[in-house]
Amino acid sequence: MAFLKPDRYFSRISRIDIERDLLGCGFKSVLMDVDNTILTRDTHEVPRDVGAWLARARDAGLDFCLVSNNWHEGVYQLADRLELPIVAKAIKPLPPAFLMALRKIGAKRATTVVIGDQLITDVLGAHFLGMTAYMLQPLVEQDLPHTLMLRHVERLIMGDRKPEEAPAGVPVTGASATAQQNTASCSQVER
């Protein structure tokens, strides 16, 4: 079952502290899901905080490759706009697309983290290849019908696990304070 559990769980990508949660954990590369991870499923936009986070992470020296099961033209256009390499039509969780993405950016599995909003595709795919998986809550509720069905399975597996909320140094209150108690450090990650 641990195979199906994300190593870390965040509410959205901008809650991942680039220094502490990525570079500080030894990661040099990120294989990144697209839909509902960095691009909203309803309005097809990259939210401002997500775009800013991506720019900061790249400035910090992290390499990215998008890995998406999406096969539409829009996903390639997004990759162009963000100037990021992409492997689309990925058929995650199967390994070939992840391996192709690693090759594309010259990344090693041990220093690569997979980030995405789905357990069955992103997390399982990462773990099949022994990579770390950071899962995010989806940007918006809207999604494809089969994805919404899989979310029921995800809820069963995730139980009452709450996302880590605020990076260190950011004041937290109320519900966020409780969620922060669940914060794991990279040294605690185990499967």
35/165 with CB nearer Mg ion = 35
* DSSP tag of 98: H
Dihedral class, residue 35 (left if φ above 0, else alpha if ψ from -120 to 50, else beta): beta
Supply the Cα-derived Rg of the chain in whole angstroms: 15
Q: Is 117 in the site for Mg ion (CB under 5 A)?
A: yes
Q: Is 36 in the site for Mg ion (CB under 5 A)?
A: yes
36/132 with CB nearer Mg ion = 36
Q: Which stretch binds Mg ion (CB under 5 A): 7-15, 30-38, 52-60, 154-162?
A: 30-38
Q: Is 35 in the site for Mg ion (CB under 5 A)?
A: yes
| Amino acid (1-letter code) at residue 118 | Q
Strand partners, 164: 10
Q: What are phi and psi of 151, to 5 degrees?
A: -65, -30
d(CA 135, CA 184): 13
Tell me, residue by residue from 120 to 159, as one string, x for binding to Mg ion by CB under 5 A and - for no binding.
----------------------------------------
Considering the complex, what minimum distance in angstroms separates the CB of residue 170 from Mg ion?
26
Q: Which residues bind Mg ion (CB under 5 A)?
A: 33, 35-36, 117
